[in-house]
Structure formats: structure tokens, C-alpha cells
A and B are shown apart, each in its own frame.
Chain A
């Protein structure tokens, strides 16, 4: 097997046995990236492959030779462009942050680096993580490695594409409403959105603060467990991080499906769902039932309102979080404006792309006097009701099973001018963010077009281990 086709865990094994060096690994992924760059239609997964990646790998090999080294020593990872890596650029796929160099690393990066990880590069994304296709980037769209005429999914499309194309074994993305799970589904990978609080948000550029989480994309569930085992837990720099210990999550233990209960929300199948997606759920349910699991169709009435709730709350939070981009302290500044007010307006209007402007506008609209009660307050109240409905179901069931995306991956450009239709593709993912639940996209096969299809399982808060163990069983037996 070639280095670029290996999982993080396989590479770790070879490194631990002394059969491979970190430099060899990084070089292999760099060559794969460079080869793609010179192809007719590059995937455009990386915004930048770090110049110092090989040097970091060299140091890592020296540390390993000393005998005392970290759990992840010499293993590479790709990082979404909104997660800070000290000394490297971080632009959130936006012109407004072009040239911004991170003065510190995100807590998650810091923890991974302390165990020897080698950041490979920063990956493309929808600007400020606002999008479901990875087309709204100042660096151009990311193409799906399986069929380059199609989108890779978003917003962490770059992270998904580099893993699916053998340019990285594993990648960090970020989630606000499905941004790890959708691209994982579109590119045939496993993609985890952890419980809100599992991973520190310190150093993850803020979009919707009550929804954001760093997520992980990989080819095998064990890779996600390995990263979680090091990165999870409370952080003094993020008051919403939770005091959880995931250090024994890796390696994933065998899971017994017999007697476990899966709930399928019927409301997600009532309209707009692709027949082949339905077929994928049926196949996965059958596999579960053959192993003794119980799969029931249940009603979670408010789940079909989750797109409306999400697209009020997330833009409201974004409109506040993005007010910091004013050209004063960092990032792009329009230098022609001769008053402060004009400078703010010109800087933001030139620096932000269309979709980000739309979300800021929607956010300020739903928060403004006269509309606040009808939209924002209402959405917050319905969010609470939805959370209660989901928690009630999770009292009787172990997992909620659904498609990851109700539809097939889009062709590049197909939905770019139809925001409402694109937002509706988030119907199956947003509920997990709204209720702070962990959710995992599992690759379960292919559409007739050859593009991958994923299903999603969501669980109780901090039940990441069981989600990943179900996935591992599928990887070993069902896939």
C-alpha cells in the first residue's frame, strides 16, 4: 500500500516500528499535492501546503530517535483555514483576512503539537465557513476528487478533498451546521462533529459561537478516535469547553449492536429526499437489524424546522462575531476612504464575499428592533423545544439515524445563486448543532453516478465513543 493511501493509524504503526520516517511521509503527501496542482483540473484542496512541514517532520524524526516522543510523533494532519496555527497565515477563505498571520495556535493544535503532530497545510473552505459546497471561497471552489465536475461539500471541503485524494491522511475541519459531515459524505469519508464543548474553540475563528465546534475527517474511525484522545477536554481559554476525558477512546473497542436502539425521524423523509439516499438508509438499517439492533421510525416534529431555526441563529451570531473585521487592527483595509465610517464600509464591502454579506445582513435583520421578537427570540425558543424533543427521543433510543445530506452532491455552480435551496440541504445536519449533540457521517456506498453517499448517526452528549465504535463495526463488517 502506498503511503498516501494509508490512514493515520497505519502510518503510526509503521513509524512506531521504525519502518518509515516522518520526512518520508510528509514528502509523499507533498508530492501527491504537487502532482494534483499540475493536473488539468486541480482539486484546490489546499490554500497552502506549509513550506516548513518537512522541517517539522525532520525535527520530529530526531525527537523519535531520542526515545521519548509523543503519541502522534511525526504524523501529519491538514488544517482548515479557520483554525490558527502559530506563525502561519489563517484567512478563513476570505479576502478580508489575506495576509493575517496567527500569533498563537488554537488549543486543539497546541495539544496535537505537544504530542508531535506535523501540520501539513491549510485547507480551502467556504468563506468564514458559510456554505455547504466549498464554492464561496476567495481562492475558488474545491473540486470533488471522485468527480471533479462536482462540489466537495462544505464548508470544510478542502479538508475532505485532501483526505479523499491522498494529500493528507486526516484533517481538521469545523462545524457550525454540518460543515464537516456534508463534505465527509460527499467525498466518502468519516466526519465527526463532536459534542459542543468536547474540543476547545480557542483559536477557531468564530462564526456562530453557540454552534461552532472543531471536527475531524478521516478514512477510518480509529483516526478520529486517536485525534480526540489527545485533543479533547477542558481548556481555561474556552469557558464552554467541557471537563471530559477521552484519553482511553483509542483504540476503539468492539461494539455489540444487539439490543441497541436507533431512531429514524420520519419528518426528514417527508419531502425533498433523493430516492437513492433513502435506499442508502434502508441498506444501513438492514445491516443494523441483521446484527440485532432495533431500528424504529419515530416522530420528532420540530426537526423539520431546524433549517429555519439555524439560519436565524447562526447569522445572528455571525453578524456580531464578524463585526470585528473593520480594517482597524488586522486584515484588509481600504486606504482610499478619508473618514472612519467610509473606511469601515469600504473595507467590509470589498473584503467580504457575497454569501458572507448575505448572512451578516440576515443576522442584523433578525436582531433589529421590530423583527427581534418575531425571528430571533422565536428561533431561540423553538431551539429549546427542539432540544427537548431530541433529548426525549434519546432517553428511549441510543442513536438517531438519518441521511447526512437529503440530496446528491451538486455540480459546481449548480446552487451558487440559489441560497435558500442550498440552505435546505442542511436539513439533516443542523439539529445536532442546535442541540449540542455529537454526530458522525459514515460512508455507506455510492450513488449510481459513482459519487459517495453517507448516513449520519447522532448520539447523546459526549457519546462520541459509541458513535465511532458503530462506525468501526461498519468499516470492518458492513462496508
Chain B
């Protein structure tokens, strides 16, 4: 059910990579799960109106106002690559994918 093309494209979307052995195991295990989902296909849902909220009676969001949040010191403690108010990451331009395009 899950062929190599689908596997690779979903892995790309998921930002994950697997070894060749893991890929085979994934195809089998996830394939079985997806196949199980077919038990929903027989149900006629044409007249269903989907509720968009959770139905707990909350229909107001809080006022959008500025509040005290984390200090720079706290943010720094999360990541080693934090400098001058920015999180530092590896280069973005010239990535393999960008070059191909």
C-alpha cells in the first residue's frame, strides 16, 4: 500500500530519514495501520456537518494585549546557539535542494 515514492515524499514532509531496514519495516507496519483505516470507508458521511470548536462553550478568545513573557536570559538558557537576540542555524542559501532548483 505504501510504495517507495509515497514513503520518500511523506518522509520528506516529516523531515525524517530512515535506514533501508527501517524503511521496509515502516512500509509493512504503517501499511497495515493505513489498511485498517479502510473500515471507515463504508460509512455514509454525506449529511454530516462538522463542528469547528470543541463544544465546551468557549467562544471568546482573550484580549490580544502585550504581556510579560520570557526574558532574553531565559531564552539563552534554552539553546547554545543564541546570539544578539537571534537563534543561530546552519546556512540556508546554497543548500543542495536550492541548488537543484
Contacts and interface: CB of A to CB of B under 8 A. Distances in A.
A364 interface: yes
A209 to B, nearest CB: 9
B83 interface: no
A329 B89 CA distance: 9
B16 A312 contact: no
Interface string B13-45: 111111000100010011011101101110101
B73 to A, nearest CB: 10
A340 B10 contact: no
B55 A436 contact: yes
A384 B50 contact: yes
B15 A326 contact: yes
B90 A379 contact: no
Given A348-B16, A358-B30, A378-B40, A342 B62 contact: no
B80 to A, nearest CB: 8
B78 A381 contact: no
Contact of B41 (A236, A326, A365, A374): A374
A362 interface: yes
Interface residues of A, number: 67
A284 interface: no
Contacts of A461: 55-56
A382 B14 contact: no
A451 to B, nearest CB: 27
A210 B62 CA distance: 19
A379 B40 contact: yes
Interface in B60-90: 60-62, 70, 74-75, 77-79, 81, 87, 89-90
A375 to B, nearest CB: 6
Contacts of B95: 339-342
A contact patch SS: helix
B50 A380 contact: yes
A305 B43 contact: yes
Contact of A361 (B10, B51, B55): B10
A148 B49 CA distance: 48
Contacts of A419: 29, 32-33
A206 to B, nearest CB: 14
Contacts of B30: 358, 361-362, 365
Interface string A90-113: 000000000011010000000000
Given A319-B14, A381-B48, 6 more contacts: A241-B56, A308-B37, A326-B15, A339-B92, A340-B89, A365-B6
Interface of B: 2, 6, 9-11, 13-18, 22, 26, 29-30, 32-34, 36-37, 39-41, 43, 45, 48-51, 54-58, 60-62, 70, 74-75, 77-79, 81, 87, 89-92, 94-97
28 contacts: A100-B78, A240-B56, A241-B56, A302-B43, A305-B43, A308-B36, A329-B78, A329-B87, A333-B79, A338-B91, A339-B91, A340-B92, A341-B96, A348-B14, A349-B16, A358-B33, A361-B10, A362-B33, A362-B34, A365-B2, A375-B34, A378-B43, A379-B37, A379-B40, A381-B50, A382-B48, A384-B49, A461-B55
